[in-house]
Amino acid sequence: MSDISELEERITSALERIGRAVSVAEERAAAAPEVGGIASDEMEAEIGRLNEALETEKDANAQMEARVKAIHDKQNTHVAALEGEVETLHRQIYDLERAMTGLRHANDTLRANNTALRDANAAGVGDADLINAALSADVQALEQVRATERVALDGLISDLKAALPHDVVAAETKEL
């Protein structure tokens, strides 16, 4: 970017010098219209050369502005894509944290029920409600493990879709 700024400054400076030279030449031509011959032809040649240089610099300036605009547009597109990716990652992290919290809760319940079941078994009391609660906690823990794995798989699928070309993802989505 510093090269572009430097070139832009050089072009602007050259355009100003050319503009000043053209103004001086026009003033001289206006001040001495009756003078003819070589001086007038030289001035016309100089004005023509300066006008050509001015046009060349304007073209170079227009090309530089187009390049800067293209770079700026590309950068904006890239930033928008990154913002979308960050938003997706935040959502995935939130979903994974929520699933992990549910898994922790289910495991805590399972541990408590297993401890109560062991205590009842050690005391020689087989409590059917305690066994049912332990099995229910075990099923809940398995469901939470599945939900956590599903969130992780959704994240992987999202990453894979992002890596594939857009037309392949669209075709796969239509098939589902």
Nearest to 133 by CA among 146, 121, 148, 116: 116
pLDDT digits (tens, 9 = 90+) for 161-175: 877 776 655 666 666
Phi first, then psi: give them for residue 37, nearest 5 degrees.
80, -140
Look at the chain and report how many structural domains it folds into.
1
The confidence score (pLDDT) of residue 174 equals 64
Decide which of 81 and 40 is more confident.
81
Locate 109 and state its tokens. Answer: 């319940």
What are the start-end ranges of the H helices in the chain? Answer: 2-31, 38-122, 128-163, 166-175
What pLDDT is recorded for position 125? Answer: 76
d(CA 139, CA 132): 10
Instruction: Please give the pLDDT value at position 8.
Output: 81
Range of the domain at 46: 2-175
Residue 79: predicted pLDDT: 92
- For the segment 55-87, what is each residue's pLDDT rounded down to a tens digit? 988 898 999 999 999 999 999 999 998 898 889
Contacts (Cβ under 8 Å, ≥6 apart) of 147: 99, 102, 103
How confident is the prediction for the chain on average, in pLDDT? 81
- The C-alpha atoms of residue 134 and residue 106 are separated, in whole angstroms, by 11
Q: Decide: 92 and 157 in contact? Cβ < 8 Å.
A: no
Residue 115 has pLDDT above 70, yes or no: yes
